[in-house]
């Protein structure tokens, strides 16, 4: 069962790291805690990311204005209302 928050299991960390958002890029994983701080983990140092599949967003849904975007990510939208607004705008464009 997935945890409530996206969780990163890293090679160099004994305990898993829980965040409000985890953005996966080509070579890095950007971890956000909702307090304007970010932690960047090289992708080769990440064992896996555990998250609720319902929180997954794909590249189009993650604009570059949201911490540089990502190929995909897992986001607690309650912590990022600006991203929810972006998703609402995308939904309004679809027919």
- pLDDT tens-place string over residues 51-63: 999 999 999 999 9
Specify the pLDDT at position 3. 55
In this prediction, residue 23 carries a pLDDT of 96
All structural domains of the chain with their residue ranges: 7-93
pLDDT tens for each residue of 1-26: 345 789 999 998 889 999 999 999 99
Radius of gyration of the chain, Cα coordinates, nearest whole angstrom: 13
- pLDDT-derived band at 34, boundaries 50, 70, 90: confident
Strands (E), 1-88: 7-10, 17-18, 21-24, 28-32, 38-42, 46-50, 56-58, 72-75
Q: What integer pLDDT is reported at residue 35 of this predicted model?
A: 75
């Amino acid at each position: 069962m997935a945890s409530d928050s996206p969780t990163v299991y890293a090679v160099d960390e004994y305990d898993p790291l829980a965040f409000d958002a985890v953005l996966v890029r080509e070579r890095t994983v950007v971890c956000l805690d909702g307090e304007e701080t970010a932690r960047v983990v090289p992708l080769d140092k990440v064992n896996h990311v555990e998250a609720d599949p319902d929180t997954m967003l794909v590249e189009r849904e993650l604009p570059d204005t949201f911490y540089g975007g990502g190929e995909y990510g897992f986001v607690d939208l309650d912590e990022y209302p600006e991203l929810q607004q972006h998703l609402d705008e995308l939904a309004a464009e679809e027919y």
